């Protein structure tokens, strides 16, 4: 179930990765939070297009755009600065310009010229009439050091590595100030600003808040599916410590749809076919569970966007900060950027399943959510948070084991364990109290059944699997038939479920574990060790080497404080200290425990 091998042939892989660059340009709004910062801009459109003067035949796009703007605005050439253009080859290219005065560019007096072939089809601009304006001198009288101090103190944050800037800034009253531009960040609070400090009087003029927060109607992450309490309107569910720019921004561009730094959620194979906000900063779309799922596409895309982002934020908090899935790693993540998760919603390429493909770090992860037809009406895996969490965890385990190559969970045993970790993450996010109940998965899409052969349980009468059960099974995961036969992954998941239950019993439960990894409670410690162990274990881990990685992770992080607790839990399912690669159960615990 939720296979990973079978999708190596997926059409989406080619389609989506190639179109990512284009998709990332769709639905942009004109910047992050520019409150008090935008002044009037205008847009002229020209239908079929307007020819530039014939004297410009054969001119470069920069020459054409600059000349067009000069004529249209009646400004001298030295006031028009060329910023750059979109990539060559597209049907329409856009050139971007800024106003400048005495060699200093403006931050908020800008223009854009869209060209289709050699014709201008649109012209946007917010240039100001400098002949009439009150313009500050172009040489600062307040030092950049003073500006840094002001920005840091006023915004309660520290300057980042980004170089300082000096630009003109048009104030609301039309006067033009000269501004030192300082980027500051407070990692603890998750704030991240670009501050504009007046270079003549030292005052903070404005600050661009890089974080884009929003409101989403979704199934809250602790609910496995809509049948556990339904949808809710969640305000700002982003975790700023994990997604400092919010979910709809990479720190440079901000979107108005279900695409962002961590995930693009779109219909089927078209990466650009996302859901656009119902109103600015709000995704409020109802789902009709009494109808076929196709009629609730927007709710589905929004829920996938929310759930993937939330799992990103949780796993990020617990250490998935290297080789992770992000468009930009400006938050300090290690590894190659440019690889958010591309999440296909209501994929037409299958039924009754879900998939995740993990290419190496730097290439987008591919999540594919299918519809299910086991009920009438059918159901949508995109509304089943447990399935989405399961799929994302495939990406986490494949990237964290072996350092981002995506090649280290390929053996039968390691692949099976991959399924296990994924089920365990679904279980972990669904917990709301110290009471650890038996856990079933995929109940919504199967119309009330369990996608696995048995519930996960501490009770051997409910789930009898032990380490030696591995010898009975040779499958990573079941066929597409339902119910699926038992799998290696179920054994590993049930062992970890028992570790989880014993840890929570011994150390308690933190209700804030999803955003606070610093607690000492059992669910926090469990998650911490599970993720730590992933990068300690070897390529193609086994049950034994993976368990050893847990023991070492505990030594590394907690000086071995939980060693006996861990061994007792592993031993309860046959993985005591003397268990070895031959799959013979050992129910003993170390002599000192």
Distance CA 367, CA 349 (A): 12
477 is in an annotated binding site: no
2: partner contacted, choices ligand NAG, Zn ion, none (Cβ within 5-8 A by kind): Zn ion
Residue 252 has φ and ψ, to the nearest 5°, of -115, -55
Question: Applying CB under 6 A, which of residues 578, 580, 581, 584 lies at the interface with ligand NAG?
Answer: 578
In order, the DSSP letters of 271-320 are TT--PBPSBTTEE-----TTS-GGGGHHHHHHHHHHHHHHHHHHHHHTT-
Tokens of 20: 């990512």
Task: Please list the helix, strand and coil fractions of the chain in percent, rounded to the nearest 5, in that order.
Answer: 30, 25, 45
Nearer to ligand NAG, 33 or 510 (CB): 33
Question: Applying CB under 6 A, which of residues 105, 144, 321, 411 lies at the interface with ligand NAG?
Answer: 144
What is the separation of C-alpha 495 from the centre of its chain, rounded to a whole number of angstroms?
A: 29
Nearer to ligand NAG, 81 or 196 (CB): 196
Q: Give min distance, CB of 290 to Zn ion, in A.
A: 29
If you search the block for the tokens 């009037």, which residue do you land on? Answer: 40
Tokens of 495: 């062992």
544-551 long-range Cβ contacts below 8 angstroms, 24+ apart: 544/575, 544/579, 544/580, 544/581, 546/417, 546/492, 547/575, 547/579, 550/499
List the catalytic residue out of 391, 413, 487, 521. Answer: 391
Which x/- pattern over 253-292 shows residues binding ligand NAG (rule: CB under 6 A)? ----------------------------------------
Nearer to ligand NAG, 57 or 588 (CB): 588
Q: Which residues of 37-71 are buried (b: 16+ CB within 10 A; e: fewer)?
A: bebeeeeeeeeebeebeeebeeeebbebbbbbbbe
509: partner contacted, choices Zn ion, ligand NAG, none (Cβ within 5-8 A by kind): none
Distance CA 200, CA 129 (A): 22
Q: Does 141 bind ligand NAG (CB under 6 A)?
A: no
Nearer to ligand NAG, 505 or 585 (CB): 585
209: partner contacted, choices ligand NAG, Zn ion, none (Cβ within 5-8 A by kind): ligand NAG
457: partner contacted, choices ligand NAG, Zn ion, none (Cβ within 5-8 A by kind): none
207: partner contacted, choices ligand NAG, Zn ion, none (Cβ within 5-8 A by kind): ligand NAG
Q: Does 194 bind ligand NAG (CB under 6 A)?
A: no
352: alpha, beta or left, given left = phi > 0 and alpha = psi -120 to 50? Answer: left
Q: Give min distance, CB of 305 to Zn ion, in A.
A: 20
Question: Applying CB under 6 A, which of residues 1, 66, 130, 209 lies at the interface with ligand NAG?
Answer: 209
Question: Applying CB under 6 A, which of residues 170, 177, 181, 207 lies at the interface with ligand NAG?
Answer: 207
Cβ(216)–Cβ(306) below 8 Å: yes
Sequence-ordered alpha helix ranges (H) in 44-102: 61-73
Total residues found in the chain within this entry: 593
Q: Give min distance, CB of 35 to ligand NAG, in A.
A: 4
Q: Give min distance, CB of 224 to ligand NAG, in A.
A: 34
167: partner contacted, choices ligand NAG, Zn ion, none (Cβ within 5-8 A by kind): none
Q: Does 2 bind Zn ion (CB under 5 A)?
A: yes
Active-site residue flag, 78:
no
Going by the DSSP 8-state scheme, the letter that residue 18 receives in this structure is: H
Distance CA 230, CA 348 (A): 26
Count the residues of the shown chain that bind ligand NAG, applying the rule CB under 6 A. 9
Which residues, 54 to 113, sit near ligand NAG by CB under 6 A? none
Q: Give min distance, CB of 569 to ligand NAG, in A.
A: 18
Nearer to ligand NAG, 515 or 578 (CB): 578
578: partner contacted, choices Zn ion, ligand NAG, none (Cβ within 5-8 A by kind): ligand NAG
394 is in an annotated binding site: yes
Q: At what angle do helices 385-400 and 522-536 cross, to 10 degrees?
A: 40
Distance CA 134, CA 111 (A): 21
Nearer to ligand NAG, 39 or 116 (CB): 39
Peptide bond into 377 cis (omega under 30): yes
Tokens of 213: 């927060």
Q: Give min distance, CB of 425 to Zn ion, in A.
A: 11
Which residues, 157 to 176, sit near ligand NAG by CB under 6 A? 164
Number of C-beta neighbours around residue 284 at 10 A: 15
Q: Using alpha carbons, select from 270, 149, 279, 244 the residue that is nearest to residue 202.
A: 149
Nearer to ligand NAG, 204 or 527 (CB): 204
588: partner contacted, choices ligand NAG, Zn ion, none (Cβ within 5-8 A by kind): ligand NAG
Beta-bridge partner residues of 282: 215, 279
200 is in an annotated binding site: no
Q: Give min distance, CB of 409 to ligand NAG, in A.
A: 29
Distance CA 439, CA 445 (A): 15
Distance CA 476, CA 455 (A): 18
Nearer to ligand NAG, 164 or 276 (CB): 164
Q: Which residues of 414-434 are buried (b: 16+ CB within 10 A; e: fewer)?
A: bbbbbbbbbbbbbbbbbbeeb
35: partner contacted, choices ligand NAG, Zn ion, none (Cβ within 5-8 A by kind): ligand NAG
Q: Give min distance, CB of 228 to Zn ion, in A.
A: 21
Tokens of 130: 């400098």
Which x/- pattern over 25-44 shows residues binding ligand NAG (rule: CB under 6 A)? --------x-x---------
Helix (H) or strand (E) holding 424: helix 412-430
Nearer to ligand NAG, 144 or 552 (CB): 144
Which x/- pattern over 395-434 shows residues binding Zn ion (rule: CB under 5 A)? ------------------------x--x------------
Q: Give min distance, CB of 211 to ligand NAG, in A.
A: 8
Binding residues for Zn(2+): 390, 394, 419
Binding residues: 390, 394, 419
Residues that bind Zn ion (CB under 5 A): 2, 419, 422
Q: Annotated active-site positions, please? A: 391
Residues that bind ligand NAG (CB under 6 A): 33, 35, 144, 164, 193, 207, 209, 578, 588
């Amino acid at each position: 179930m939720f296979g990973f091998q079978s999708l190596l042939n997926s059409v989406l892989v080619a389609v989506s990765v190639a179109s990512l660059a284009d998709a990332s340009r769709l639905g942009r709004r004109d910047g992050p939070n520019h409150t008090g910062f935008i002044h009037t801009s205008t847009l002229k459109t020209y239908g079929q297009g307007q020819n530039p003067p014939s004297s410009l035949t054969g001119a470069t796009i920069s020459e054409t755009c600059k000349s067009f703007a000069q004529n249209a605005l009646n400004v001298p050439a030295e006031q028009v600065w060329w910023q750059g253009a979109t990539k060559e080859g597209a049907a329409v290219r856009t050139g971007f310009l800024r106003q400048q005065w005495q060699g200093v560019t403006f931050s908020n007096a800008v223009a854009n010229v869209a060209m289709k072939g050699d014709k201008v089809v649109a012209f946007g601009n917010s240039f100001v009439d400098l002949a009439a304006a009150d313009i500050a001198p172009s040489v600062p009288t307040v030092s950049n050091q003073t500006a840094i101090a002001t920005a840091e103190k006023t915004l309660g944050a520290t300057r980042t590595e980004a170089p300082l800037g000096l630009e003109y800034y048009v104030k609301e009253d039309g006067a033009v100030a000269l501004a030192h531009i300082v980027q500051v960040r407070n990692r603890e609070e998750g704030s991240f600003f670009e501050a504009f400090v007046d270079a003549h009087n030292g005052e903070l003029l404005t600050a661009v808040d890089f974080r884009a927060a929003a409101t989403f109607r979704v199934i809250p992450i602790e609910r496995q599916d809509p049948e556990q309490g339904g949808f809710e309107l969640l305000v700002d569910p982003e975790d700023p410590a994990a997604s400092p720019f919010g979910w709809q921004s990479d720190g440079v561009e901000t979107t108005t749809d279900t695409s962002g730094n961590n995930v693009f959620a779109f219909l089927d194979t078209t990466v650009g076919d996302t859901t656009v906000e119902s109103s600015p900063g709000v995704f409020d779309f109802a789902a009709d569970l009494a109808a076929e799922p196709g009629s609730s596409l927007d709710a589905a895309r929004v829920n996938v966007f929310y759930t993937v982002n939330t799992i990103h934020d949780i796993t990020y908090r617990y250490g998935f900060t290297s080789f992770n899935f992000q468009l930009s790693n400006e938050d300090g993540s290690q590894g190659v950027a440019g690889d958010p998760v591309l999440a296909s919603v209501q994929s037409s390429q299958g039924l009754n399943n879900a998939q995740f493909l993990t290419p190496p770090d730097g290439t987008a992860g591919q999540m594919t959510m299918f519809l299910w037809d086991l009920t009438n009406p059918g159901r949508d895996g995109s509304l089943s948070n447990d399935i989405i969490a399961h799929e994302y965890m495939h990406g986490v385990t494949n990237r964290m084991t072996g350092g981002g190559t995506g090649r280290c969970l390929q053996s039968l045993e390691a692949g099976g364990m991959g399924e296990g970790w994924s089920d365990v993450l679904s279980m972990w996010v669904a917990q709301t109290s110290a009471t650890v109940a038996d856990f079933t998965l995929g109940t919504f899409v199967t119309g009330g059944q369990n996608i696995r052969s048995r519930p996960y349980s501490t009770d051997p009468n409910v789930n009898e699997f032990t380490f030696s059960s591995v010898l009975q099974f040779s499958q990573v995961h079941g066929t597409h038939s339902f119910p699926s036969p038992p799998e290696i992954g179920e054994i590993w998941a049930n062992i970890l479920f028992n570790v989880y239950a014993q840890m929570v019993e011994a150390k308690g439960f933190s209700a804030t574990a999803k955003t606070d990894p610093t607690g000492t409670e059992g669910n926090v410690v469990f998650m911490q060790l599970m993720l730590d162990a992933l990068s300690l274990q070897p390529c193609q881990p086994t049950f034994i080497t993976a368990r050893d990685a847990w023991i070492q992770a505990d030594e590394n992080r907690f000086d071995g404080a939980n060693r006996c607790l861990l061994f007792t839990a592993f031993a309860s399912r046959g993985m005591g200290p003397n268990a070895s690669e031959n799959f013979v159960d050992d129910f003993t615990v170390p002599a000192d425990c």
